[in-house]
Amino acid sequence: MSENNTNAKLDYSLIFIIILLAIISVFTLYTLDPYLDQNPLFQNMYVKQIVWYIAGSIAIAVIMMFDYDRFRQVSWVLYGIGLISLIMLYFHFPPGIAHEVKGGAWGWFSFPGIGTIQPAEFMKVFLIIFLAHIMVAHNEKYPEHTIKMDLWLLCKIAIAALVPIFFVAQQPDLGGGVLVLSAISACMILVSGIKWRIILTIVGTVLLSFITIIYVYLTYPDKVNEFLYDKDLGHVVARFQGWLFPDDYSQEGAYQTLNAMKAIGSGQLVGKGIGDFEMTYKIPEYHTDYIFSAIAEQFGFFGSSILILIFFLLIYRLIFIALKSKDPFASYMVTGIIGMFTYQIFQNVGMSIQLLPVTGLPLPFIGYGGSSTLTYMIAIGIVLSVYYRIKTYMFDES
């Protein structure tokens, strides 16, 4: 079979999309700069974001120097590094480096002169690589899918995912960590080859459990709230109450969401203009979790729709690469990355318009965040490495 040499190709479409998102991010942070707190830590965020994008670009260049299959060889090492870092945070070790932020969350390492690093962000990519390795190794060993073997694969995936999910939940980081890791795992299970009857059974069980939880909460709200407060999950209670009953909790759990919706609505069709933030600056974390409201207030429905279209093109391009790759390990990794980005985009925009509960989750590539931005760039580096080494053949069916 004659090979048409399409190796050593850069995906310029994907690179162009990332450059567009980087420009939007830096420009929005620049316009927000005068409104940020006078604390030096919150000054010149756009400059810091540029630095993180440069670091991410270097990471992409390094990743593309190596065959993506090398990740499979070190998947255990990467997973172990991520897990050890989460365990260290669980025990608040080492003292002075393990960093507690407001609300009592232990999710960061603080390095003098460098800044903070959030291991849970990097664990997302490590988990994707590790799950892809597990799925490929299992399917190579058991090429014939049976109910027993599929359940065994499902158990492997569940164990690998639940261990980091447990430690991330203890930080606590339910919205930005637990749900993202769960979305990644669920997305990869869909393409793992597990029989659909098993997957549909799981989906039905999850939906039934969710409906039951909602019913119990609406029937016995006081008892459920008391239980959650006893488990130090009072912030979860506030966010759900603000989501379900925004008018009753306008100064508590719904404060951010209501102001975000006012900011988005005030932008109307074409926005108020560059740097006009009459409402956005009233929202806590508007340079990270609620940066979508800043874009909508400045550029209105038209501008925010363009941003969503760019995200759509990003996901479309990732799906194209996942389908084009003939290597299962590569396809699984890209699928996990698709799950990570899709969930985070949908969740962030959804919470800004009260479609979903509030979670501490930045908008990918747009909201400020050193660890998160670097993680996204590493993920894109893996995708570019996959595309760079895709082989096509003259008599390929496609």
Condensed to tens digits (0 to 9), the pLDDT of residues 311-353 reads 999 999 999 999 999 899 999 999 999 999 999 999 999 988 8
Scan for tokens 């060993």, then name that residue: 141
Q: Is the pLDDT of residue 143 over 60?
A: yes
Rounded Cα gap, residues 48 and 346, in angstroms: 26
Q: What are 114's strand-pairing partners?
A: none
Contact 337, 318 (CB under 8 A): yes
pTM of the entire predicted model: 0.91
DSSP secondary structure, 229-252, as one string:
HHTT-HHHHHHHHHHH-TTTTTTT
pLDDT of 356 higher than 90? no
CA atoms within 13 A on the CB side of 140: 9
Alpha-carbon distance values, 18 to 11, 29, 315, 384, 390 (Å)? 11, 16, 12, 12, 20
Residues 165 and 181: beta-carbon distance below 8 Å: yes
Residue 40 pLDDT > 60: no
Which residue type sits at 186? A
- Whether the predicted pLDDT of 6 surpasses 50: no
Please provide the average confidence, as pLDDT, over all residues in the chain. Answer: 87
Tell me, what's the pLDDT at 174?
76
CA angle 219, 225, 227 (to 5 degrees): 110
- Is the pLDDT at 5 greater than 50? The verdict is no
Do residues 332 and 136 make contact, with C-beta atoms less than 8 angstroms apart?
yes
